[in-house]
Structure 1
């Protein structure tokens, strides 16, 4: 049996899953991006959010051609309202991080509309078996 880190009935915050696999976070692929600085900024925002934001890293999430990938997972309330995870590609600069953090601060998927510029960066998640 797999145990969740979230207690049954607990409110799950909006979370960002930051890809740091084979291509995402790789200075050889995107030398002009401060990958460590981006991750530090997101973690600092989570620490200051009073539990409204969680940040995790993951190995390769799949769509390497659209690196860097960040998956925005809805909070418990966002899921209740029918929201699904939003996949963001090309998360390479501070403007994108500003948009991500503003969206999460407003509630994230299911609770707030993403900024228009962030909508342009949304990608389809990889299909199973690919």
Structure 2
């Protein structure tokens, strides 16, 4: 356990890498919905980049994240250091194609949210997480970057 800036950080949270959460639910990664996208190739490229990062990037897959109309979705989670610097999860929609995959890899290996600025093309692909609009409409919840 470590105390940092008046906060206690326990175990693995102290050294969490920038993590790419790749949706592979009902629409994302679905060859019937997006037949021209190389879904498996993209996932393999992300995994290779994580393996070559020396532990600074991790990749996870998950079932449906929700914004199916913006498939494929990748959530870029900040590293522990990125979170300490104010970085928050960034949801990227329409994450298909080599250029987008290259941008995601470059941003994650540069440090991700809180450490590095996203490439301009990715900024155009940022989507709101499911439920954020409902919380905002009722005036509840906290603002997220």
Aligned equivalent of 1:123, options 122, 127, 136: 127
Aligned equivalent of 2:84, options 62, 80, 90: 80
CA RMSD of aligned residues (A): 1.5
Q: 1:9 to 1:18 in 2, by over 3 A?
A: closer
Aligned equivalent of 2:98, options 83, 94, 104: 94
Distance between the aligned counterparts of 2:30 and 2:105, measured in 1?
22
Give TM-score scaled by structure 1 length. 0.91
The answer for unaligned runs of 5 or more in structure 1 is 1-5
Within 5 A, what are the aligned runs for 1:12-91? 12-91=16-95
Distance between the aligned counterparts of 2:85 and 2:110, measured in 1?
15
Give TM-score scaled by structure 2 length. 0.82
The answer for unaligned runs of 5 or more in structure 2 is 1-9, 135-145
Runs of 4+ in 1 over 4 A off after TM superposition: none
Report which of the two structures shows the higher radius of gyration computed on alpha carbons: 2
Distance between the aligned counterparts of 1:103 and 1:8, measured in 2?
22
